[in-house]
Structure 1
Amino acid sequence: MNTPPTTLADWLAHCERLHPKNIDMGLDRVREVARRLELRFDCPVITVAGTNGKGSTCAMLEAVALQAGYRPGVYTSPHLVHFEERCRIHGEIVAAGDLVPHFEAVEAARTGGGEAVSLTYFEFTTLAILRLMSQARLDVAILEVGLGGRLDATNVVDADCAVITSIDIDHIEFLGPDRESIGREKAGIMRAGRPVVVSDPMAPDSVIRHAQEIGADLWRFGEDFNFSGDKQQWSWAGRGRRYAGVAYPALRGANQLMNASGALAALEALRGRLPITAQSVRTGLAMVELPGRFQIVPGQPTLVLDVAHNPHSVAALTANLDAMGFFPTTHAVFGAMADKDLAPMLAKVGPLIDRWYFTDLPTPRAETAVALQQKWNALQIVAGGRRQVATSVHANPVQALQAAVDAAEPTDRIVVFGSFYTVGGVLHDGTPRLQAKHLGA
Structure 2
Amino acid sequence: MSTTFSSLDAWLTHLESAHPVGIDMGLERIGKVRDALQLQFACPIITVGGTNGKGSTCAILESILLRAGYTVGCHTSPHLLEFNERARINGAIATDAELLLHFEAVEAARHRFAEPISLTYFEFTTLAIMHLFAARGFDAVILEVGLGGRLDAVNILDTDCAIITSIDIDHTEYLGDTREKIAFEKAGIFRAGKPAICADPLPPQTLIDHAERIGANLWLFGRDFRYEGQAGSERQQWSYVGPTLRRSALAYPALRGANQLINTSAALAGLEALRDRLPVSAQDIRLGLANVELPGRFQVLPGKPAIVLDVGHNPHAAAVLAQNLGNMGFFPYTYAVFGSMRDKDIAGVLQHLKGEIDHWCVTDMPTPRAASAEDLETALREVGVVDGPDGSVTRHASPAEAFQDALKRASDNDRIVVFGSFYTVAGVMAYRKSQHH
Match of 2:290 among 286, 296, 311: 286
Which runs of 5 or more structure 1 residues have no equivalent in the other structure? 437-441
Q: Which amino acid aligns with 2:10?
A: D
Aligned counterparts, 1:134-149, within 5 A: 134-149=134-149
In structure 1, distance between residues paired with 2:408 and 2:360: 13
Alignment partner, residue 90 of structure 1: 90
Alignment partner, residue 356 of structure 1: 360
In structure 2, distance between residues paired with 1:32 and 1:98: 24
Alignment partner, residue 20 of structure 1: 20
CA deviation after TM superposition for structure 1 residue 428, in Å: 1.3
Match of 1:341 among 340, 345, 358: 345
In structure 2, distance between residues paired with 1:386 and 1:8: 49
* CA contact 1:36–1:113 (8 Å) conserved in 2: no
Q: Which amino acid aligns with 1:389?
A: G
Alignment partner, residue 365 of structure 1: 369
Alignment partner, residue 204 of structure 2: 204
Q: Which amino acid aligns with 1:288?
A: V
Alignment partner, residue 73 of structure 2: 73
CA deviation after TM superposition for structure 1 residue 350, in Å: 0.7
Q: Deviations over 1:262-283 (max 9, x none)?
A: 0000000000100010000011
Alignment partner, residue 427 of structure 2: 425
CA deviation after TM superposition for structure 1 residue 17, in Å: 2.0
Secondary structure, counterpart of 1:11 in structure 2? helix
In structure 2, distance between residues paired with 1:214 and 1:344: 35
Alignment partner, residue 407 of structure 2: 405
Q: Does 1:271 align with 2:275?
A: yes
In structure 1, distance between residues paired with 2:97 and 2:245: 43
In structure 2, distance between residues paired with 1:29 and 1:358: 40
Q: Deviations over 1:301-341 (max 9, x none)?
A: 00000000011101110111111111100000001101111
* CA contact 1:191–1:214 (8 Å) conserved in 2: yes
* CA contact 1:401–1:430 (8 Å) conserved in 2: no
In structure 2, distance between residues paired with 1:179 and 1:371: 27
Match of 1:380 among 379, 384, 387: 384
CA deviation after TM superposition for structure 1 residue 203, in Å: 1.0
Alignment partner, residue 41 of structure 2: 41
Report percent identity of matched pairs: 56
Q: Does 1:317 align with 2:321?
A: yes
* CA contact 1:328–1:412 (8 Å) conserved in 2: yes
* CA contact 2:3–2:107 (8 Å) conserved in 1: no
In structure 2, distance between residues paired with 1:2 and 1:270: 40
1:432–1:354 Cα change, 3 Å? farther
CA deviation after TM superposition for structure 1 residue 393, in Å: 1.0
Deviates more, 1:131-140 or 1:260-269: 131-140
Q: Does 1:330 align with 2:361?
A: no
Q: Which amino acid aligns with 2:5?
A: P
Q: Which amino acid aligns with 2:428?
A: V
1:276–1:192 Cα change, 3 Å? same
Q: Which amino acid aligns with 1:100?
A: L
Q: Deviations over 1:4-56 (max 9, x none)?
A: 42210111111112222111111000001111111111110000000000000
Q: Which amino acid aligns with 1:67?
A: R
Alignment partner, residue 258 of structure 1: 262
* CA contact 1:192–1:215 (8 Å) conserved in 2: yes
* CA contact 1:402–1:430 (8 Å) conserved in 2: no
Secondary structure, counterpart of 1:351 in structure 2? coil
Which runs of 5 or more structure 2 residues have no equivalent in the other structure? none
CA deviation after TM superposition for structure 1 residue 2, in Å: 11
* CA contact 2:2–2:111 (8 Å) conserved in 1: no
Q: Deviations over 1:168-225 (max 9, x none)?
A: 0001110011000000000000000010111111111111111111111111111111
In structure 2, distance between residues paired with 1:385 and 1:358: 14
CA deviation after TM superposition for structure 1 residue 3, in Å: 7.8
Q: Deviations over 1:84-130 (max 9, x none)?
A: 00010101000012111111111111122332111111111111111
In structure 1, distance between residues paired with 2:65 and 2:429: 27
Secondary structure, counterpart of 2:383 in structure 1? helix
In structure 1, distance between residues paired with 2:98 and 2:427: 25
In structure 2, distance between residues paired with 1:166 and 1:358: 28
Deviates more, 1:412-421 or 1:201-210: 201-210
Q: Which amino acid aligns with 1:376?
A: L
Alignment partner, residue 296 of structure 1: 300
Alignment partner, residue 53 of structure 2: 53
CA deviation after TM superposition for structure 1 residue 240, in Å: 1.6
In structure 2, distance between residues paired with 1:204 and 1:3: 45
Q: Deviations over 1:338-385 (max 9, x none)?
A: 11110111121011111000011111111111221122112228xx99
* CA contact 2:2–2:107 (8 Å) conserved in 1: no
Q: Count how many residue pairs are aligned between Structure 1 and Structure 2.
A: 433
Secondary structure, counterpart of 1:138 in structure 2? coil
Q: Which amino acid aligns with 1:145?
A: V
Q: Which amino acid aligns with 1:345?
A: V
In structure 1, distance between residues paired with 2:214 and 2:333: 52
Alignment partner, residue 439 of structure 1: none
* CA contact 2:148–2:185 (8 Å) conserved in 1: yes
In structure 1, distance between residues paired with 2:363 and 2:127: 33
In structure 2, distance between residues paired with 1:334 and 1:273: 44
Alignment partner, residue 109 of structure 1: 109
Alignment partner, residue 163 of structure 2: 163
